[in-house]
């Protein structure tokens, strides 16, 4: 089973590592799902000029730290990053959403293969 197929050009990525290392794939943002954070959508651009999304759950393995129980959304400690889908910064708050921000950073900084 393949990890992902581009919805426009039909490019296939066999696994997560191949997908993340592809220099033709770039991280665009996050559509957070506050009801179930793992159902949030991480958005990507592909070089064929298409944008597609993959659920956070498909990248859950990239995080091994603590997951906080309570959301800090709207509190004084919340910088509001989750409310801006193009904001990729890590969150400094002790918030249930913070682990998703760490996943975004790991995706953003994943080493890309050199173009052939």
For 15, which DSSP code? Answer: S
Question: Model confidence over 55-71: pLDDT tens digits?
Answer: 999 999 999 999 999 99
Question: Model confidence over 82-109: pLDDT tens digits?
Answer: 999 999 999 999 999 999 999 999 999 9
According to DSSP, the β-strands at 41-46 and 4-5 are: unpaired
Q: How confident is the model at residue 1 (pLDDT cuts 50, 70, 90)?
A: confident
- 62 domain-assigned: yes
Q: How many CB atoms lie within 10 A of CB 63?
A: 17
- 115 domain-assigned: no
Into how many domains does the chain fold? Answer: 1
- 87 domain-assigned: yes
- Percent of the residues in the chain that have a pLDDT greater than 70, as a whole number: 99
Which range of residues forms the domain containing residue 87? 4-108
- 43 domain-assigned: yes
Cα–Cα distance measured from residue 83 to residue 86, given in angstroms and rounded to the nearest whole number: 9
- 116 domain-assigned: no
- 113 domain-assigned: no
* Phi, psi of 29, rounded to the nearest 5 degrees: 175, -165
- 80 domain-assigned: yes
Across the range 2-18, mean pLDDT stands at: 96
Dihedral (CA of 59, 85, 102, 64) sign = negative
Name the burial class of residue 100, with classes exposed (0-12), middle (13-18) and buried (19+) by CB atoms within 10 angstroms of its CB.
Answer: buried
Which residues are within 8 A (CB) of 4 and not within 5 positions of it... i.e. 6 or more apart? 12, 13, 19, 52, 54
């Amino acid at each position: 089973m393949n990890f992902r197929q581009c919805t426009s050009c039909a490019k296939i990525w066999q696994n997560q590592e191949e997908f993340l290392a592809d220099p033709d794939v770039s991280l665009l943002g996050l559509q957070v799902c506050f009801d179930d954070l793992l159902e949030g959508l991480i958005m990507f651009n592909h070089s064929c000029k298409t944008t597609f999304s993959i659920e956070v759950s498909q990248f859950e393995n990239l995080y091994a730290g603590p997951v906080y129980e309570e959301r800090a959304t709207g509190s004084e400690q919340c910088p509001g990053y989750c409310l801006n889908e193009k904001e990729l910064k890590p969150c400094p708050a002790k918030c249930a959403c913070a682990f998703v921000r760490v996943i975004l950073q790991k995706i953003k900084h994943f080493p890309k293969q050199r173009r052939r």
